[in-house]
Chain A
Amino acid sequence: MADYKALEDLVIQVRRDILRQVHKVNSGHPGGSLGCAEFFVALYNELMDRKENFTMDGIGEDLFFLSNGHISPVFYSVLARAGYFPVEELRTFRHINSRLQGHPTTHEGLPGIRIASGSLGQGISVAIGAAQAKKLNNDKHIIYALCGDGELQEGQNWEAIMYAAGNNVDNLIVTVDLNGQQIDGSTENVLPMGNLKAKFEAFGWEVLEIEKGNDLSAIISGMKKAKDKTGNGKPICVLLHTIMGHGVDFMMHTHDWHGKAPNDAQLETGLLQNSATLGDY
């Protein structure tokens, strides 16, 4: 049984880390990061079977790939707080000579990162490759991936989605961050994607929905159901309904905070809504 109090505290601390990272450097992507804080916390602290020490090959453990690399603030915070690198290093986010680049990369050797992402649409393909390598290695662990909903407008995703179903890549769980927003507005206004559940199903995927994508218990039970469905010949898609900017009232339900940092007063407001739990870096 998950220790929900501890996970909730971690979520709040992660929100603070996100706000403070982007505020300090006056750039970065808080909206999508906040929307996925609960998902990342659940994934790294409750769902994934992870090894203590990071190795690139990840043999004998579950792996995660972030396709929508711009939500790096949440990724970095959760990785640091899971012990992959010192929490203090979050101070260097987007600064010169940092391992915490604007978008995640292996280039500077940051533990926890296995592929560069940022240019959208590439993560599912990479995850499929890693999943096929797991099968070749007789490694029964799972590959998790996260992509944005707007990101699904990139054509490469659909090559990958077709491949995974056609080749029974059933050790793969792709979660779609369904917040309905992208840089220029709502996904509905920018480029409507229609019924994503029906689309994934038509491609041959098993699809689950988590309606409360910012609720830890809903995420954990939904993702466990997804995990139970692996190994049955089909790749798994989880449609995670999230609220962009979740946990900071003025950032919620809008695309305005996709790639904009809060000013001093806004930071203060955001932090007041999320009192420190584990201690700031």
Chain B
Amino acid sequence: MKKYTDTGKKDTRSGFGDGLTELGKKNKNVVALCADLTGSLKMDEFKENHPERFFQVGIAEANMIGMAAGMTIGGKIPFTGTFANFSTGRVYDQIRQSVAYSGKNVKICASHAGVTLGEDGATHQILEDIGLMKMLPGMTVINTCDYNQTKAATIAIADFEGPVYLRFGRPKVANFTPENQNFQIGKAVHLQEGSDVTIIATGHLVWEALQAAETLNENGITADVINIHTIKPLDDEAILRSVKKTGCVVTAEEHNFLGGLGESVARVLSTQHPAPQEFVATQDTFGESGTPEQLMDKYGLNASAIVNAVQKVIARK
């Protein structure tokens, strides 16, 4: 079994901020727009280094998305920054018409996704954003799992032509993927070899999936663990290869089970290789105030929830 080490807890949003800083230095067409959350999105350094390329739009997300679309016309690569809730639901029609349908090269970068936003509560904890974004034709949807991967993804999407939704979070979480990794959009990362069950996780749940695999291993169950950082386009091949081997799957995500990664995986399997599946996700509910750990536990979004789901799905094989 491969060993993964947490090199020190870090927030994924800092991965975005540091990635943006690096991009600012190497790509003069990269511009950043922020709706009054520069500190929360860790965009301060980009702003300091390139004040002429940083656009503070105020608390006006709809205008921010429209402006970003307009900037692409002059050859700029705009990165918009605000919370996931205000990056998606609040501006859905602006993204739909001015960005997705218009085919504009806008990078919508969304922090504080999911319940791990914590104490601010349900008004800010969006659990529907992956669904909203993946339904838009032409939209690439990425949900990174740790600091290193978020930084690499931020840098990678600048070189990709087309609209991208990049989702990350607020809490400090394990940083375990390689530094300066080669981030390939649409390519799953195979983290653990196993033959009894496939665990497909995205975002903060990837580390939990690795912890679950260790626990399962101690009990004689070997799990194939796959990190799906790109929910759309989905790496169908990697999913099918694994499930053909294991015969069942657990999907894990910090998102509603409606519209999330789990449903995308279910579509692939139901049409090409039907297999039992269990969903570790929120169950069509809003979140609430609490610490990230308390919320992950209450809403069944941690390693122990994954272990339970694995036992259930193996019994259904």
Contact = CB atoms under 8 A, between A and B. Distances in A.
Contacts of B93: 119, 122
Interface residues of B, number: 32
B69 to A, nearest CB: 5
B74 A163 contact: no
A133 interface: yes
B63 to A, nearest CB: 4
Contact of B73 (A58, A160, A167): A58
Interface size class of A (residues with CB under 8 A): 35 or more
A111 interface: no
B69 A136 contact: no
A192 interface: no
B252 to A, nearest CB: 36
Interface in B91-145: 93-94, 96-98, 101-104
Interface stretch (B5-13, B52-60, B216-224, B226-234): B52-60
Contacts of B66: 122-126, 128-129, 156, 160
Nearest to B94: A122
Given A129-B66, A163-B58, A117 B97 contact: yes
Interface in A109-132: 114-119, 121-132
A115 B93 CA distance: 14
B98 A125 contact: yes
A130 B74 contact: yes
A122 B74 contact: no
Contacts of B78: 129
Interface string A17-35: 0000000000000000000
A20 to B, nearest CB: 27
Interface string B52-86: 11010110101111111111111110100000000
B31 interface: yes
Given A163-B57, A167-B55, 6 more contacts: A115-B69, A125-B66, A136-B52, A137-B74, A156-B66, A160-B67
